[in-house]
Amino acid sequence: MNLSIVEYPDRRLKLKSKKIEKFDKSLHRLLDAMYPIMMNTNGIGLAAIQVAHPIQALILNIPEEDGEQPDENLIEMINPIIKSKDGETVYQEGCLSVPSFYEDITRFETISVEYQDRDANLKTMDADGLLSIAIQHEVDHLNGILFIDKLSYGRRKKFEKEHKRMLKEKKNSKK
Ligand code: QAP
Ligand code: CO
């Protein structure tokens, strides 16, 4: 499977992802292909829409204290729904679809999320810390929302300016 990361300002990132009904081989193949892309690009979370598949699937591998991301820590969530949320926390977020830009984002501190695994089994997870932030960031992707959409007017302007500069640099390096 040949996947590549969809980057801002691609309008596909604004799509609302569809609920998954078929837990078949093609879903498994997609999930299996997403994982190495995330790991090879130093990601900790990736939604299917970021590889051009607008379906409600996301994967996570939250680094441990030592920064390691063993394969056993992979979490796959299909059709996730955040059932409860509490508190507030601020973290400097980034996104594989918005490379090289990081900004403080306020999220809920703790959440409870219901989802299905790749075989359609229903699961519930209570999360706090970086895992909670990552789940909220990825569930936003399923709703067509990027972390930069949450910035204040002034911070968003700062992003647009930096983004324009980045595109110019990219063009120039091709010449
Ligand atoms: C979402 O983000 C997230 O700009 C996952 O050059 C962010 O994996 C969850 C990345 C913050 C929790 C907290 C970004 C890699 C990875 C970049 C990512 C880059 C290379 C972002
Ligand atoms: Co993202």
pLDDT tens per residue, range 34-55: 999 999 999 999 999 999 999 9
> Relative to the CA of 138, which ligand 1 atom is closest?
1
Cβ–ligand 1 distance for 133 under 6 Å, the answer yes
pTM over 0.95: yes
pLDDT tens per residue, range 70-90: 999 999 999 999 999 999 999
Q: Could you tell me the CA-to-CA distances from 74 to 7, 58, 166 in Å, in that order?
A: 23, 11, 32
Percentage of residues of the chain with pLDDT beyond 70: 99
- 3 state SS of 160: helix
- Protein residue whose Cα sits closest to atom 5 of ligand 1: 45
Res 56: pLDDT: 99
**Do the beta carbons of residue 135 and residue 77 sit within 8 Å?**
yes
CA nearest 2: which of 39, 29, 40? 29
